Chains A and B, each alone.
Chain A
């Protein structure tokens, strides 16, 4: 017997990016992407909308913080640290005419990412080490956008290496920096300052801010 879907009551919705909406639900506002696919990580579906949970995705947390990057539907994206594809699934809703090269090093979460890639048409899964971009240099093309969320000590260097090899002229980058994994003893503000300095030597830092739902994290938006 197939389970009957309860119809969820939702209110007005406001478009903030291609296929991304803020939806009123009771007292609260939730973030969601328009998607013809089912739930991937336990998020709820409201009709054609798929809830985008900020505690699970730093990109969602950033959007809810009010910062917007105008991700176009035809963008080609290099995604470093794809894990099991939580954020990738929503990004794939946005770049529906583009492609996402999703790099993940750890085999366990990667199996879930493969399932996602099988379902969608625009995800290329790569079981590779993001700190060795030359290993996938013959696969990944020049991209419009590089997104990175890997909690590693040298995550900034990895980000910059990938930018140098794969970002188009005029392309953009977004890095989620985790203070504790860069230096667990220093105060987060100090760590962030060092990171921004390091980044601005090579790329233009457009904006950065802290993230709700993710303690001791900041996002940094850069232009290559």
Chain B
């Protein structure tokens, strides 16, 4: 049996040293189904490199280089990936809707093999939709754990989509985050105000989709939206700069919601 170690390959106790340590370090997985390797990597490595000091210094150098490569690659792409998936999700929703309408129309006239095939196709698209949604949740949890914990992955991704990147979202004030997605009604209100007419300034945009806002009575939604946006602004900054989950934020939002529901 052949095993991969970071400095090469091992077969029957024989080590074949890799000529590119970074490369071999990056594909080091062994399908051992949870069991330990039949040798200790360190013991083999010391033989190969001559001494523990040499072994560790090579290991450390390679690990840091690989770490930098991998981290950079991941950071660059993940928020774009979530945004693209979200766009795909919206497209697929539209397609499903459209097809379902057409199917109903056709059925009214005549039931046939084709209608059954259409139905099957729609079912497949719904499965795909769930897959995409699951992927968005998973990616967002990595890219923006705090935003996702408050909003859920899909709504959080929608905020990202509105501004284009996590970096930009992290630089926005809470008041802007609060009405992201309601730009049209905001500008309408501003135009009316300029003319000195009474105007309704929107309370919420994308974040209205969150059950904590949607389910409150109208006169409390503004309060909740303002509070949530403030926490989201903090969340976006933590996500952008450190990426560590702080569950106080989501608790505070929940507490505020419960307070508003009761009071």
Contact = CB atoms under 8 A, between A and B. Distances in A.
Contacts of A106: 142, 145, 243
A123 B240 CA distance: 25
A127 B71 contact: yes
Contacts of A114: 64, 67-68, 71
A134 B33 CA distance: 7
Given A107-B78, A109-B244, A165-B35, A142 B40 contact: yes
Contacts of A137: 28-30, 32, 36-37
B35 A164 contact: yes
A18 interface: no
Contacts of B6: 138-139
B242 interface: yes
Contacts of B208: none
Contact of B42 (A112, A121, A142): A142
Size class of the contact patch on chain A: 35 or more
A119 to B, nearest CB: 11
Interface string B30-53: 111111110011110100000000
A117 B60 contact: yes
Nearest to B74: A107
Interface in B131-182: 142-143, 145
A109 B71 CA distance: 10
A125 B32 contact: no
Nearest to A133: B34
Nearest to A105: B142
Nearest to A111: B71
Interface residues of B, number: 43
A177 to B, nearest CB: 15
Interface in A86-142: 99, 105-114, 117-118, 121-127, 133-142
A136 B6 CA distance: 9
Q: Which interface residue of B29, B33, B75, B78 has the most chain A CB atoms within 10 A?
A: B29
A153 interface: no
Contacts of B75: 107-108, 111
Contacts of A113: 67
A125 B28 CA distance: 15
A151 interface: yes
B129 interface: no
A44 interface: no
A161 interface: yes
Contacts of B242: 84, 108-109, 112
B184 to A, nearest CB: 33
Nearest to A132: B29
A22 to B, nearest CB: 27
Nearest to A151: B245
Nearest to A112: B242
A138 B243 contact: no
A138 to B, nearest CB: 4
B100 interface: no
Contacts of A139: 5-6, 25, 28, 41, 59, 63
Interface of B: 3-6, 25, 28-37, 40-43, 45, 56, 59-60, 63-64, 66-68, 70-71, 74-75, 78, 142-143, 145, 239-240, 242-245, 247
Which 4 A-B pairs have CB atoms at the shortest separation, nearest pair first?
A: A108-B243, A141-B42, A138-B28, A107-B74
13 contacts: A99-B56, A105-B142, A107-B74, A107-B142, A108-B143, A108-B242, A108-B243, A112-B242, A124-B60, A127-B70, A141-B45, A161-B34, A165-B37
Given A108-B242, A136-B29, A165-B34, 20 more contacts: A84-B242, A107-B70, A107-B74, A108-B239, A109-B244, A114-B67, A117-B67, A121-B60, A124-B60, A125-B63, A127-B67, A127-B70, A127-B74, A134-B34, A138-B5, A139-B28, A141-B43, A164-B35, A165-B35, A165-B37
